[in-house]
A and B are shown apart, each in its own frame.
Chain A
Amino acid sequence: MSHSTPPANEPNSTSTLLEEPGVLVAKKHHLLVRWSHWLNVPILLGLILSGISIYWASPIYRHKPDPTTGNFDVAADIGIWICAHVPGLRHYSSPPDWLYNHISLGPGMLALALRLHWLCAYSFMLNGMVYLAGLVMGGGWRSLLPRRTDLFDALRMFRYYLGAPFAKLVRRKWLHPRFNTKYNALQRAAYFSVPVAGCLSVATGWAIHKPMQLYWLAAIFGGYNAARVWHFWLMWVYILFVVPHVIVVFADGWDTLRSMIVGWSTRVKRSEFTANEQ
C-alpha cells in the first residue's frame, strides 16, 4: 500500500510513460449493470412519452366538463394555463394539447403509442433481468440493501446536499458525512427504491394490461382503476429520481460517471471524499 494514487487523467509525456507508477482502481459496476443502466435511458424515455400519450385517451384526473369547451382533462387545463401565462405562447394553436405536445409523443395517437409502449415495456422487463443478473454476478446487490441506520444517515446526507451549493457559493467548508460503504444512505435508498419501483411498474402494467386473466394482480393494487393510478404515479418516481441523480453525478465528477461506463474507479478508499474539495 505504499503507492500514492496519482490523478488518473494527468497527461504524460512519452518519455515518462514506462516509469509511470500504477494506479489503484476498484471495480465498481459489473458490465451487465453498466449496459442495462444506460439502456434504461431510451427505454424509460420511450415508456414515459408513449405512456402519457396513452394517458391522453382516458385521463385519470378529470373534472366536470367545462360548459363552454367541454374539457374535463386536468392535463389540458394545465396546457391552457401555460399558454395563457407564458409569454410567447399566447397564440399557440391548440392550448389544451400543449402539455401532450411537449411531454408525450402527442395527443390522438393511441394505437401507435400502445405499440411503442409494449415494445418498450418488453425491453424494460428484459433489461431489468439483465440488470438483476449483473447485480448478482458482480455481487453489487449487497451494497443496495437498506440498513438499520439508514434513516438517520439519509437525513444527514440530505442536509449535506441541501447545504452544499450554498457552502460553495460563500466558500465555506461543508463536510461530507463519512461512510465506509460503497453508497451513502441516501444513495442506497434511491438505488434500492428505483428497481423496486421498476418491479411495481411492471406488476401494475400487467395488472391493467390483462385485468381479467391477472385479476388477482389488479386486486393486490386495489382493483383495475387503482392499478392505473399506481402505474401513473410510479412514472413520477423515475422522473423525481433522475433529476437529482444526474445533477449529483455531474457535481461528483468524472470518476463517478466513468465508473458507470468503464466500471473502474480510482477512488479506492470509501472515505476519500470527506470534504467538498473536488
Chain B
Amino acid sequence: MNNKAKIDCVDHESRTNETAPSVAVETVSAEKRQGLFGEQPPPVIEMAPQVLRYRTRRDVLVFGAGALAALAGGGFLLPQDTLRRMGVRRTVNSPAKEWFLNRALRIDDDVAEALYSGNRRVPTYTKSQITPLKNNYNGATPDPGYISGWNLTIDGLDSGLSISLDIRNLMTRFSVQEQITRLVCVEGWSAIAWWAGLRFDDLLRAYPPMSQAKWARVESSVNLDDSGNPDPYFMSIDLATARHPQTLLATHFKGQPLTVDHGAPLRLLVPVKLGLKNVKAITKITYSPGEPRDYWAEHGYSRYDGI
C-alpha cells in the first residue's frame, strides 16, 4: 500500500512535470480583440488539478515566507520606543539598522542634490503675502545681553588670518538685499517672511576662503539648551549653496533690525535649505575642505537638508 502510494506519487510528479505544460498551453476560449483600449478576456486554459494544487501550495508558501520576512524586516526597522510600546523588550538597536536607515537618507540626499540647481531662484512673494514667523529656538531664547559685544569671526581664509567684524562693519561695507521668501521647517510648518541683509556671496568675495575650501561651518556660540545652559549650534553648508544669490546674512526682519527672537544681530537665511540650517545669532564662520559636523545631523536628521 505504502509502495503503491509512492509509485503514484512519482507518477503524479512526472505528470506534473511533463504533460502539464502541453495541457497548459491549450487555449479553450478565444474572443475577438476590441481595439487597444478594449478589455481582452484572459486566456482560459485547461490545467490538471494537481498542477493547480501544486502551484497554489508553492506560491502560498513563497508568499507566506515573504510575509514573515516583511514582518521581521519591519520589526527590525521600527524605532525602539515603538517596539517597547508594542511589548517587545529586546533591544534591536544594531549598527546594521543605523547603516541601513542612513543609507536611505543618503540616497535621498543624493537625489536632492541632483535636483538642485545653483541658478534656480526660489519663489519670492509680495508684502501682502507675509505670514507670521514664530520664534522657534529649540532651547531657551538667549538673553539679549550678548548683542552689545557681538562680533563675527571668520576662519579658514585664504589669507590664513582670522578676522573679526562688528555689525556696523557688515552693514556699511556691503550692499543690502531685500527678499521675501518662504522659510520651511523640517517639522512641516512654513512662513513667508521679509528679510534684508548682505549676500553671503559678497562676504565670500570680500574675504575669500582658502582655495581648497568646499564647506563652511556656521556657528552660534550663544545658543542655549532647554534649561538655559550654553549649547553651541553649528551646521554645515556647502559653498555652492552659500554662493546662491538668495543666500543672505540677514540683518533685518520686516524692515527692522533683527530682534533676539530672530537671531539678532546676524542670521543665515538660506531659502534653498530647511529652516534648521538658517542659523540664528551667528558668531563664527569657518571654511574647510571637508564637510564639517552638523548639529541636527548628529540628532538623526539629514545633513543635506536641501529643499
Contact = CB atoms under 8 A, between A and B. Distances in A.
Contact of B49 (A23, A111, A119, A261): A23
Contacts of B43: 26-27
A112 B97 CA distance: 12
A22 B48 contact: yes
Interface string A17-45: 11011111111100000000011011001
A115 B82 contact: no
Contact of A110 (B15, B186, B307): B186
Given A20-B49, A38-B63, A145 B187 contact: no
A101 B45 CA distance: 51
Nearest to A28: B42
Interface string B178-189: 000010111111
B23 A22 contact: yes
B37 A26 contact: no
Given A22-B49, A23-B49, A24-B44, A105 B28 contact: no
Given A109-B79, A145-B37, A213 B104 contact: no
Contacts of A148: none
Contact of A212 (B28, B50, B108, B271): B271
Nearest to B111: A122
Given A212-B307, A213-B307, A264-B55, A27 B188 contact: no
A8 interface: yes
Contact of B12 (A17, A110, A270): A17
Nearest to B34: A142
A159 interface: no
A3 B46 contact: yes
A228 B37 contact: no
B163 interface: no
Interface residues of A, number: 70
A211 to B, nearest CB: 6
Given A145-B37, A213-B120, A215-B123, A224 B190 contact: yes
Interface stretch (B70-78, B215-223, B254-262): B70-78
Nearest to B117: A213
Interface in A99-147: 101, 105-106, 109-116, 118-119, 122, 139, 142-143, 145
A58 B81 contact: no
B188 A228 contact: yes
B50 A20 contact: yes
Given A1-B28, A213-B117, A22 B46 contact: yes
Contacts of B5: 14
A210 B112 contact: yes
Contacts of A1: 28-29
A18 to B, nearest CB: 7
Given A41-B70, A210-B115, A112 B63 contact: no
A86 B272 CA distance: 46
B301 A211 contact: no
A24 B45 contact: yes
Interface string B1-26: 00011001101100100000001000
Interface of B: 4-5, 8-9, 11-12, 15, 23, 28-29, 37-50, 52-53, 55-56, 59-60, 63, 66-67, 70-71, 73-74, 77-79, 81-82, 85, 100-102, 104-105, 107-108, 112, 115-117, 120, 122-123, 182, 184-190, 271-272, 296, 299-302, 306-307
13 contacts: A6-B49, A20-B50, A24-B46, A42-B73, A101-B85, A106-B79, A106-B81, A109-B79, A111-B300, A112-B79, A112-B101, A142-B38, A228-B188
Given A212-B272, A224-B184, 5 more contacts: A24-B47, A111-B301, A116-B101, A119-B77, A268-B29
Kindly list the 5 A-B residue pairs having the minimum CB-CB distance in the complex, ordered from nearest: A111-B300, A58-B188, A22-B46, A119-B104, A57-B187
